[in-house]
Structure formats: C-alpha cells, structure tokens
Structure 1
C-alpha cells in the first residue's frame, strides 16, 4: 500500500513547515485553549487537506516557489479542519480521536466547544488577511457547510427514510466542501483560468466524497485499534452511512432495529451482522470507487509535474485504505 510519506514527498518540506507554523498561529492567550489546540495539532494526523492545497499550488506554479498566501491557505485549511474535529467529538461524544483521548474527554465539553470556536475565529482572521475576496468567500462557505452538515446529521439520526442523495449532501457539507473549496482557492491564488479553477473544485469534491465513503466503510471493516475509535460507532449513534443505506434495501428487519434505536439487548450486534451479511459494504465500495475515478480527469489540464502525479496517486491511496 502507498504510504502517505512517499505520496506527499513533493510537499514534504511544506508540511514540516506547516506543522511548525500552526503552533505559532494559535495565539491563544489562555493556557487551556493553547493546551487543547496543541493536543490535536500534535497528534499523528496525515495532514491530507493541507497537502492537497500544497500539491495543487505547486502543480499550478511549476516555475516558482509557493507564495506566502498559498502557505497561509494551507494553514487555514488545517485550522478549519481541526476546529471541526473539536465540535464533531463533542456532538458524537467520542472518547478517542486517532487513538488519542479527545479534547472534550480531557478538558470537558465547554472547553472543547470554545476551543473549536476560537480556531474558527482565528482561521477567519487569517483568511481576511489574505486580502482576496474570492478566497474569503470560498472558505467562509466551508464554515457554513460544516454547521449545515452537523445540523442535518443531528436531525437525521435513526431516520431510515434517509436516501442516498441526502447522505451525499451531508457528506459534502461535512467533509468534501473543505477539500473542494480549498483546492479551488489554491487555483484562484495561482491565477489559473476559470475552467481549471472549476476543475480543481470538482477534483476536491469527488476526492472528498470518496474519502468519507471509505471512512464510513472502514467503520464496519476495521477493528477499534485500527480506527482509533470504537468500531461501528456511526451506526450505534444513529448515523446512517452508505453501507447501512444499501443494507436497508435488502434487510427490512434492520429498519426495525434502527427505528427502536437499538433499545433491546443484542440489537446493535444484530444490526452489525445484517450490514455485514448484505451487499451494503460492496455497494458502498463501488460508490467510493466511482467518485475517486471521477476525480482524475479533473487534473487533465494541469502541466506534467511530480505534484500533479501525486494528486492522481492520491485517488488510488484513498481506495487502497479499503484493503
């Protein structure tokens, strides 16, 4: 399987500098806010979102180094992502993130929510400082989408009438919007033609959807140790993802279990077994593959470079995580 280190080799130095800069950008006066943000920034995340920004920036600036604004965009992207994790873990009451205790489990819900709000505010400040209205609009849309996605997920818990389209909309809001709009913003900062800016957006959208669908599959196929969180946690929480939605079409009894919110002994174990015995996981895998493959032609107009090839290879890496 392709390693993230080799995949991101064209921007390895950029990612090292980003990690150093993030700690300096937090700028929280209160030590608890600093400690909360530092805790998540210091965990072993793959930094996929800023890596995509760096790769697109280098692919669209093949003759020159990255500008300070490209670097700051990558940093803002990771700050927004990190802020969303604070809020996600509170809403989901997750005790683990990447195998580490979550911020709310260490510092409490109030601190986690305030730390997330603080990071969103800091990201907005640095975003405005880029002095590019188009980029400000793109990343502001992302923050709005996060809230929309959380609201949709909250209202749709245990709702077996949820269709695939609603699931994909929520997945776009919560995951793909940041990747799509930050990819587009990198093209805007590079001054590429409008048709290429749109292509970069669609690359990020397709890749982001594939990435989250794969994550939703892994929630059923990997162990708790591999996931860094309890396996099957989405279903337990009433968050119906692609494997479940497909399984519901084959197993009417699964609907009964979900609608009574797994209130009886053995319900969740029975539900997990029904998902595994159906073709739901296989169909979800096909769905993810379709989106990943659709991302590749979006890069056709980029000049040949190591960065462009890494963006192509990233679509394979997303799917390789399934095996």
Structure 2
C-alpha cells in the first residue's frame, strides 16, 4: 500500500484512530473469538474501504469535517469486509491472508466460521446504533449481497459457459456492493441530496468492480505479496474470472483443462501460461479501465477540494496496482 500511503496523507491520523478503534470494537467475551478477530486486524490490510468512506465524508461536509458517525461507518465497513474475508478463506481453503496464516488455519474451521459470524453481528449492532434508518437499510443490504455472491460463485465453479456479464454481476455482490453502499452511506450522513448520494454510490460501484477485476488479473500475473493470498488460488478453486473468461474465447486447450478441473499436477501452471499467451489479460485490464473512467465520471465536477482529488487518485491507484 506504499503508493497509496502518500495519497491518503490527509486522513493518516484518522486511519490510525480507526486501527485502534477496530481492536476495541471486536472485544469479544470469549478469548478464542477475541484472539481470532485481533489476529485479523493485527495483520493490517490496505484499509482502502474505510479510507474511501472518510474521504467521501470530507468531500461532502461544508468544512471538510469528518463526523463521529462517519468514523463509525468507516469502522463498520472494515469489520464487514474482514468478516467476508474470514468466510471466503474457509470456502476457498486459503492457507495465508495478508502474509499471515488464515483464521481457520491458526484456530479451526469452526472458530473461523464463528469469528466471521461474530464480526457480521458486531457490525450490525454498531450499524443499528448509528440511529439512521436509511443508512442501516443501505449497508445491511451488503451482507445479503455477500451471501448472494458466494452462492453464485459456488454454483458456477468450473462452468465455462459463464459470461462476462455474469462475472460482473457476481463481482458486484462480492466486492463492489460494500464500497458503493458505504460511499452512499457517508454522503447520507452528511445530509446531501439524493443525486449526490447516487453519484457516490456509482463512484463506489465502478471503483469496486475495477478493484475486483485487477485483483483477478493479479491472481494470474501477480505476486503473493501484492495479492495477500497465494497466486492462482482463484483458478484452483474454479472461480472463473475476467482474464480466464476472455482467454477461453481463444483457447480450446484451456477449455479442456477447465473441464477436468485442473486435476493434474501441472494444470494450473499450464492454464496460467495459456492465459498469458492470449489477449485475456489485456481485455481484462481494458474492462477495469472502463470502470475506472466511469468512477471518475460519477464524481463529476460537483465536488471540489483535496478530498475529491484524492478520490480520483484512488481510482488511478487501483489500476496502477498492476505496475
């Protein structure tokens, strides 16, 4: 996240405060649950989602003031995201996340599932305590979307008939929904009008989709370090992502590997090699770029000042993760 640290300089103190608060907020009575939650938050992570919430707060308040409710929404956003990662890691059987062992590896699958549930429950409780019904409606929908995305992904594993539209829809549920809803929620807390709220929703939606597409490109070409999880893990689990879907249009051999679910020892490496030899990665990058442009367009010319510039820089940062 080094590249992005400089662009987030205006909210560095706010992010430090967020890290301190996260550990306090997950203070479970049961030592194992507390240890599991603390294990996650100690691992760091990019904190890009709460950073976006804080920047939307700055962009939509008269004196660029971040209200206590904005801070709480940023914390809730990170807790929801982290809960989804714990469950994702169980489903995908990931061994490491953010450079450390996953919760189910360190403790057990049962503890990981319970820790994820606990974090979702905590986020709901804090959300209810915002005492803002519209924000509650907007954010609570995200938890439903996560489940919908996981089910869709599970039902289409190794299914070569999946289209790019199906993939975008699933990516919305799994990634973009949270960013879109939390951007809108931050604008709601600032009492902006419905048009501005919807603009920020679109900004978050397109940014989230671009983020997911780039993640999926990095799964093919990136390092373990840039991903926070082992490269090729999406392929191994049969998750059909943009580079793979585009590459399938060009390669019958890839279809064969997919149909046998990469069962042979070298199948994943062969698949990665084939994807790299097609236009799959470039087409995926182009698709991500389209969503980045849409995110910047959604910001429009209505918002000015440093926070708005930083939100645009975050859009560019998402694409630059490939460099």
TM-score normalised per structure 1: 0.97
After TM superposition, give the deviation of residue 245 of structure 1 in Å.
Answer: 0.1
- Cα distance, 1:44 vs structure 2: 2.5
CA contact (8 A) 1:95 1:101 kept: yes
Match of 2:243 in 1: 243
Cross-structure match for 1:90: 90
Q: Which residue of structure 1 lines up, in the alignment, with residue 195 of structure 2? A: 195
- Aligned counterparts of 1:13 and 1:68: Cα–Cα separation in 2: 14
Superposition deviation, residue 265 in structure 1: 4.1
Deviations 1:152-179 (A, max 9, x none): 1111100000110110111000000000
- The answer (yes or no) to whether the contact 2:243–2:280 under 8 Å persists in 1 is yes
Residue in 2 aligned with 1:103?
103
Distance in 1 (alpha carbons) for counterparts of 2:70 and 2:259: 47
**Distance in 1 between residues matched to 2:103 and 2:134, nearest whole Å:** 33
Query: Which residue does 1:118 correspond to in 2?
Result: 118
**What is the DSSP-based 3-state SS (H/G/I as helix, E as strand, rest coil) of the residue aligned with 2:178?**
helix
Q: Deviations over 1:14-38 (max 9, x none)?
A: 1111111111111200011111110
Residues 252-263 of structure 1 aligned to structure 2 (within 5 Å)? 252-263=252-263
Q: State whether residues 220 and 232 of structure 2, in contact with CA within 8 Å, keep that contact through their aligned partners in structure 1.
A: yes
SS at match of 1:134: helix
Could you tell which deviates more after superposition, 228-237 or 206-215? 228-237
Q: How does 1:65-84 map onto structure 2 within 5 Å?
A: 65-84=65-84
Alignment CA distance shift 1:321-1:64 (3 Å): closer
* Structure 1 position 224, deviation (Å): 3.0
CA distance in 2 between partners of 1:151 and 1:303 (Å)? 38
1:221-257 per-position Cα deviation (integer Å, ceiling 9, x unaligned): 1233443322211111101100000000000121111
RMSD: 1.3
Is residue 33 of structure 1 aligned with residue 33 of structure 2?
yes
Structure 1: runs of 5+ lacking an equivalent: none
Aligned residue in 2 for 1:134: 134
Shift of 1:259: 1.1
- Looking at structure 2, the residues matched to 27 and 279 of structure 1 have their Cα atoms a distance apart, in angstroms, of 48
1:249-294 Cα shifts (integer Å, max 9, x gaps)? 0001211110111223432222121111101000000000010111
Looking at structure 1, the residues matched to 189 and 229 of structure 2 have their Cα atoms a distance apart, in angstroms, of 37
For these two proteins, the number of residue pairs brought into alignment is 323
Please report the TM-score for the alignment, with normalisation by the length of structure 2.
Answer: 0.97
Matched position secondary structure for 1:309: helix
Rounded to whole Å, the distance in 2 between the matches of 1:13 and 1:218 is: 30
Secondary structure of 1:91's counterpart equals: helix
Report matched runs for 1:1-80 at 5 Å.
3-63=3-63, 65-80=65-80
